[in-house]
Structure 1
């Protein structure tokens, strides 16, 4: 997920040429599996702070059914940098009436919000509506940095260019960080010094606590996370901050905030967001669904992802010949020179895949082998049991002028594996996070603004004599370096004509 308002393309994928009896059985058989009941509750966050900036009072957000509190004359009122002069102001947004994008706090000076929270790991979500808030706050002048808990989340962030590049009117960014023992979290907005009249603004701030070690490495986990391209493992410690860059319900519909497991995460619908799939994957892959098998959360916590995520997926199809000729591939633009955490969600629910070895496949991340024989049933120890697997990979820089590089995720039906019953691969969900660097920084460059297409101007018809005179002027303008003898001959020719 890049943005909650990203545009989706509604397409359907069919496999009519490959409707074999075995293929049909994957989708038409109704199998009921009786499993032990799971009584673990949906996660209830310790903190659930929703702040509408530039607003007075409380306002219900019908989309997530929560009440958002205004920062005017409340305990959440920001601290101003008095030495800088002018205080922040509140304004009504001209282009949105939805919470929290309908109002904003703006300032040409630094301002800070302080939140009293319990120690532990938190989601921080920032909401931006890059509009012009009157003639004194033009959208092109919104250029600022954001720091939280000692981390730089955004640096010289150009909100209008970012919104235009993503073809969206609104922006939101989600981060994860750990609050240490002081039990307070400061979020500071600082206008850039690089541009005259630059200002900072914010429409909404959300802070939601997360289960301990949901994305961080547990102290009890001695193995850590698979580090792609290295024999060592990697630990995501509390001194690291994360930025969510992509989150997909693979093969399924979008799952919005109140359809999550209590943490208000937003899952894009990969079934609709096809722009990250390569052409062959889009052409041949299929979308199996589980409508009958009860899920058994014995390997992971039930709050890890919504149940619906594990009831849909994208697989290669049932034609072994075709499956061995292509990889199921996604390509994600990411900022280079950062480490990235990839969490792959799996659940085996296809009726004919019942035992170890029925479906084994390879996983490649950033063109490197992550798994040589991934077997979901073997790893989850049964059918209908959701699991996920984490990987960390470093993305090196590309050409000097390249702001983004491509992070490839590919699943391959092993063409040399004759023991598996299905030369196929499947994925149910995907999350990708950027990890802070050694300077406690998460910020990347602003995107390039979208190319402006200049309308073609059709000149009025010109006389033959006028054209000839203009051509002669152009020719003479370029003859300054011509040898004198050749120049004399050219002048004689043009004079005679």
Structure 2
């Protein structure tokens, strides 16, 4: 019996064994067809690191959310987020105790969808009452999610949830926020939404890769991923390297974290570094797979 919901979780890992680190400048980095950033609740557009955030509360905004009873509001957070140097998009939010929908009429193909959250009190919306689900065509991305509990558990004052999904040729990307039913105080909120095009073969799928399946832990048969499957991106880690911000990524606005807090062995060594060895990209690993700096350090 097929379950009603299949949300596949994945961590992208570079599998190339590197004997030396390499240099390069990401010539020909990926250029997204769509790179939309919505500052939810903001009445105006804002810029950060050469990245424009579109305010959904601006008059005539293309990305103003739709809801049946026009109950969603925009409100400033009652406190600032100390975990981010810049406030965008975490100082203001779109909130509602009923369902609201963002519509993105972009081109078909695979997409990164990033949902940004800053749990805080917003007017009479109490921080602890944020329980909601988020849906995209064919998938429930998060269900009965509490942003405040997630923040308290992870110690991330502000954070984003990142997903990879495919928009079909006959689909419109609707991102639906719905409070968890049964609690009259429950509400849904979001601070920012990004929709960024991604290459068709950045992640494994049977459309562009071999039809041979992948072995998953706990399953006896091989699994084939299709464009109907959605993935949650858990972490991008720059192994033994420095933090890489979205401005220094290879065109897809990803952030790469330092890996030290995830290393569980004390005797993991470092590979020698060479700044003269050229970086050889190819069809299987294009130059936009990861920024060049990710290849400069490693553990062995």
Into which bin does the TM-score normalised by the smaller protein fall? Answer: 0.7 to 0.9
Query: Which of 78, 100, 114 lines up with 1:94 in the alignment?
Result: 78
* Distance in structure 1 (CA, Å) of the matches to 2:74 and 2:90: 12
In the alignment, is the contact (CA less than 8 A) between 1:261 and 1:303 conserved in 2? yes
Structure 1 SS opposite 2:236: strand
1:41 is matched with 28
- TM-superposition CA deviations, 1:283-307 (whole Å, max 9, x none): 4533543322111112411111111
Structure 2 SS opposite 1:314: coil
Q: Output the TM-score relative to the length of structure 2.
A: 0.84
Select the structure of larger CA radius of gyration.
Answer: 1
Within 5 Å, give how 1:325-344 maps onto structure 2: none
* Distance in structure 2 (CA, Å) of the matches to 1:42 and 1:66: 17
Greater helix fraction, Structure 1 or Structure 2: 1
1:130 is matched with 119
1:301 is matched with 286
Seen in structure 2, the aligned counterparts of structure 1 residues 186 and 284 have a Cα distance that, compared at 3 Å, is closer
Which one has more relative contact order, counting CA pairs under 8 Å at least 6 apart? 2
Within 5 Å, give how 1:432-443 maps onto structure 2: none
Within 5 Å, give how 1:455-474 maps onto structure 2: none
CA drift of 1:53 comes to 0.6
Query: Which of 32, 45, 53 lines up with 1:68 in the alignment?
Result: 53
Within 5 Å, give how 1:378-397 maps onto structure 2: none
Structure 2 residue runs of 5 or longer lacking an equivalent are 1-18, 81-85
Structure 2 SS opposite 1:304: coil
Structure 2 SS opposite 1:161: helix
2:104 is matched with 115
- TM-superposition CA deviations, 1:219-276 (whole Å, max 9, x none): 3533535415678543221010000112211111111111110001111111xx32x3
1:173 is matched with 161
- TM-superposition CA deviations, 1:297-356 (whole Å, max 9, x none): 1241111111111111011xxxxxxxxxxxxxxxxxxxxxxxxxxxxxxxxxxxxxxxxx
Q: Output the TM-score relative to the length of structure 1.
A: 0.52
Q: How many residues align?
A: 273
CA RMSD of aligned residues (A): 2.5
* Distance in structure 1 (CA, Å) of the matches to 2:118 and 2:191: 7
1:310 is matched with 295
In the alignment, is the contact (CA less than 8 A) between 1:147 and 1:187 conserved in 2? yes
Structure 2 SS opposite 1:206: strand
In the alignment, is the contact (CA less than 8 A) between 2:22 and 2:292 conserved in 1? no
In the alignment, is the contact (CA less than 8 A) between 2:138 and 2:228 conserved in 1? no
- TM-superposition CA deviations, 1:373-430 (whole Å, max 9, x none): xxxxxxxxxxxxxxxxxxxxxxxxxxxxxxxxxxxxxxxxxxxxxxxxxxxxxxxxxx
Structure 2 SS opposite 1:165: helix
Within 5 Å, give how 1:152-231 maps onto structure 2: 152-228=140-216
1:52 is matched with 39
